[in-house]
């Protein structure tokens, strides 16, 4: 039974990995939320080679951080089994912007919002913009 469960999990991860990079995303740092499974969340960053990924609690305390990289994008899966119920935030930052997504953890599931709660562009990263100063 354990072998079947492990094999199923490996197949699910391989399937998610193969589909993650098929999502069209020309804009930098689009967080594509893939289906969650219980208290496991998965997301992909297409065409992003380096990014900082962090998880914060509702009070802004850092719980987890890493510097992620990939050749054609980044795929990450997190198990939130040990997280108590509540609201958390996934923050992803690359060289041009920082986006924050909400994570809701309940007894049974964890849900990562597909829309960003906030987006902060870094200086000099805006495309085709003009600012007039008087």
User: 28 vs 13, 24, 103, 122, CA distance in Å?
Assistant: 24, 11, 21, 13
Query: Is 126 inside any structural domain?
Result: no
| CATH number of the domain that residue 85 is part of | 2.60.40.3080
On whether residue 133 sits in a domain, the answer given is no
Spatial distance between the Cα atoms of 55 and 73, rounded to a whole number of angstroms: 19
In whole numbers, what is the pLDDT of the chain averaged over residues?
Answer: 78
Question: Residue 85 — very low, low, confident or very high, per pLDDT cuts 50/70/90?
Answer: very high
- Domain housing 8: 2-121
* H or E segment and range at residue 101: strand 97-105
Whether pTM exceeds 0.75: no
CA distance 81 to 74: 22
Residues 6+ apart with CB under 8 A from 67: 50, 51, 52, 53
The two tokens of residue 111 are 């849900």
Taking 70 as the threshold, does the pLDDT of residue 49 lie above it?
yes
Question: Is there a domain that residue 109 lies in?
Answer: yes
Query: How many domains are contained in the chain?
Result: 1
Which three-class secondary structure state does DSSP give residue 109?
Answer: coil
pLDDT of residue 11: 44
What is the pLDDT averaged over residues 52-80? Answer: 94
Is position 58 within any domain? yes
Residues 10-39: tens digit of each pLDDT: 444 444 444 444 444 444 557 878 766 788
Tell me the pLDDT band of 1, cut-offs 50, 70 and 90.
Answer: low
pLDDT-derived band at 86 (thresholds 50, 70, 90) equals: very high
Reading the block at residue 105, the tokens are 């953890």
Count of alpha carbons within 13 angstroms of residue 83, beta-carbon side: 26
Average pLDDT over residues 32-51: 84
Domain membership of residue 41 (yes or no) is yes
**pLDDT band at 90; cut points 50, 70, 90:** very high
Distance CA 45, CA 96 (A): 14
């Amino acid at each position: 039974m354990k072998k079947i469960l492990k094999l199923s999990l490996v197949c699910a991860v391989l399937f998610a990995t193969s589909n993650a990079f098929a999502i069209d995303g020309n804009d930098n740092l689009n967080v594509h939320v893939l289906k969650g499974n219980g208290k496991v969340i998965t997301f992909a960053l297409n065409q992003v080679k380096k990014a900082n990924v962090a998880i914060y609690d509702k009070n802004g305390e850092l719980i987890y951080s890493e510097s992620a990289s990939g050749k054609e994008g980044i795929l990450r899966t997190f198990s939130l089994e040990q997280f108590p119920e509540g609201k958390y935030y996934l923050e992803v930052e690359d060289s041009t912007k920082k986006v924050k997504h909400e994570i809701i953890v309940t007894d049974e599931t964890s849900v990562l919002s597909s829309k960003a709660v906030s987006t902060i562009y870094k200086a000099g990263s805006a495309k085709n913009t003009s600012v007039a100063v008087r």
